[in-house]
């Protein structure tokens, strides 16, 4: 029997364009429900795709603290989320979840 070599999937490797990143976040928002850690981790994935060092410079936050906050294990403040989305060039918008 031949051995199968598996490698760990990293979504960040496939987020090449701003549109890829926006669509990825949109899909994660739909999937997450009320799981804030899931959204933070999705933003972390996008941040790694863009470059965490550059994001740290643009937000004024430490690179290590960004890694922690956006790991899915951290609990970032909403202010941090807003700084990150602005620096990533991502707009958050609202729409009714109830059918009209």
**Each residue of 40-83: pLDDT tens digit?**
999 999 999 999 999 999 999 999 999 999 998 989 999 999 99
Q: By the 8 A CB rule, do 52 and 79 touch? A: no
Task: Give the domain ranges of the chain.
Answer: 15-88
What does the mean pLDDT of the chain come to? 92
Q: What is the pLDDT of residue 1?
A: 77
| Mean pLDDT on 92-96 | 85
Q: Of 99, 76, 97, 87, give the one whose Cα is nearest residue 30.
A: 97
Q: Which two tokens stand for residue 96?
A: 């009714």
Q: How far apart are CA 15 and CA 39, in angstroms?
A: 16
Q: How far apart are CA 13 and CA 69, in angstroms?
A: 20
Exposure string (b/e) for 63-92, b if CB count within 10 Å is 16 or more? eeebbebbebebebeeebbebbbebbeeee
Q: How far apart are CA 74 and CA 39, in angstroms?
A: 11
DSSP 3-state of 9: coil
């Amino acid at each position: 029997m031949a051995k199968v070599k598996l490698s760990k999937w990293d979504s960040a490797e496939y987020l090449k364009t701003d549109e890829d990143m926006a669509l990825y976040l949109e899909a994660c928002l739909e999937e997450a429900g009320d799981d804030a850690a899931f959204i933070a981790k999705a933003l972390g994935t996008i941040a790694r795709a863009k470059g965490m060092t550059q994001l740290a410079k643009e937000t004024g936050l430490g690179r290590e603290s960004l890694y922690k906050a956006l790991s899915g294990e951290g609990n970032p403040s909403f202010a941090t989320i807003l700084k990150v989305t602005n620096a990533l060039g991502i707009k958050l918008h609202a729409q009714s979840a109830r059918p009209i």
